[in-house]
Amino acid sequence: MAARGVLIFLVLYFTLNLIQAKDKKTKPNVIVILSDDHGYRDVGYHGSLFDTPVLDQLAGEGVKLENYYVQPVCSPTRSQLMTGRYQTRYGLQHAVLDPLAPACLPTDEMTLAQKMKEAGYSTHMIGKWHLGFFEEACLPTNRGFDTFLGLLLGGGFHFSHSFPSAAYYDMHRNRSPAKELNGTYSTHVFTNEAIDIINNQDEDTPFFMYLSYQAPHAPLEVPEEYKDPYRGIFQDEDRLTYAAMVSCLDEGIGQVVQALKNKGTYDNTVIIFSSDNGGSIQDAGNNWPLRGFKLSMFEGGMRALGFVHSPILSEKVKGTVSNELYHISDWYPTIIEGIARSSTRGSKSPLDGKNQWRSIRDGTCSQRHEILHNIDPLWVVPGGRDWVNAMSPFNVSINAAIRFGDWKLVTGDNGRTGWYAPPDTNIVSISGPPTTDQRAWLFNIKDDPLEMNDLSEERPRVLKFLLQRIQKYYEQSTPVFYPDAQPQLADPCSNGNECVWGPWTPM
């Protein structure tokens, strides 16, 4: 009987292992591609003169997400991608992370990379991190990524990989400075790394890749050959360079897709593309016809370029446009639960992201009807109409925004933001309203996606409902964590880091 029991145990053990091995091999690979300060207008399929054949084709053969939102600035978008949680849950609701301040994505937050490792994936981070690095625990390879090649700061020079001057280096392979890459253009660096990982990937192990390009974020730099096709099109040199940066980015993404096909893994890979926030009009980006720009709570600051491309999408959704409501935080449960067929158990609660895989893959309704865009109590614009202040449970001087169904509320804004036309067209920009003491704005985004018609006076009950909703989120939020800069400790040229940006607090 004992021998029979051992035999049964061995049969069950090996059967289970075979099942797990088969499941591991058939799990789809996932590549999340993030572009940086990429304007809503600045892609071919949104009417731009930019040459983006790869993005146009991938989006055209996949599902274009045209009601998809990120955060209006960099670090919060990336933190929500990594955690599936609003930044108000962990104190990152003000601005971006300062490299000179002792702050990072809180280390008790479970990251997408950690959960994908648990699901049996190899995990790779390439490109811009911008989630803090003041201590070792903050680094990508300590947040779930097996490998990392990229920059830790929020930006820098694309050839020298330095900031704010050539003396301060910021390109790393895992924990070590990758000084051999000095002089190689960042988009090429990141594309080549992605191709190398794909080429050397164990075919029996699925991979998760976070490919976070630095382009087309300022400073505006690109190899000269990418500018040549645009010299007869753009008169403005910054806009020309920006367009060339987007074309180089487009080319790189095409090379990554071709590497997947050459390796034989394309058919079992999901590609998710997203911009991280609206384009910066000061740095040649454009979000026409949307109102606003990077940093703004209007649509131009946070309605993002986005699409999903994969052979495993349902045939009925390939080549379609989705107007369902999606948010950057949704990728966390969508990738873990929907694509990787794993569990988000162990993640911090509450999760604000929704598993949207069935909605995207099969064209069903979104699981989301509400988005807290942000509440930043450190960004205050004093004022407000007496009747709104009297009825509002929320301080409308605080910069904040919330979406509920088709309705959107913006507070803490004087409303002067306008609509900025692409400089390469005959379209004329539209100025925002004249200065008033109004601080709360209400729009029906479905009927008025350009936010031209404030309905706060016409629909006071809707206004009050959204003010109550945002006050509830405010009461649940964690206080802002935005510590003072410590330049003497953090300066890599004076803290023993040999002028290489990196952790600067004692072990």
Could you list the active site residues? Answer: 74, 130
> How far is Cα 234 from Cα 168, in angstroms, rounded to an integer?
33
Q: Which of 155, 161, 145 is nearest to 216 (CA)?
A: 155
> How far is Cα 247 from Cα 375, in angstroms, rounded to an integer?
35
> How far is Cα 289 from Cα 35, in angstroms, rounded to an integer?
20
Three-state secondary structure readout of 332-384: HHHHHHHHCCCCCCCCCCCCCCCCCHHHHHHCCCCCCCEEEEEEEEEEECCCC
- Residue 303 bridge partners (DSSP): 69
Q: Which of 470, 467, 415 is nearest to 438 (CA)?
A: 415
HSE-CB of 413 using CA atoms within 13 angstroms: 23
- Cis peptide upstream of residue 350 (ω within 30 degrees of 0): yes
Pairing assessment for the beta strands 407-411 and 29-35 based on DSSP bridges: unpaired
> How far is Cα 427 from Cα 288, in angstroms, rounded to an integer?
10
Q: Yes or no: say if 409 and 473 are a contact pair by the CB < 8 Å rule.
A: no
Q: Tokens 């004329």 belong to which residue?
A: 428
> How far is Cα 348 from Cα 110, in angstroms, rounded to an integer?
7
* Position 191, amino acid: T
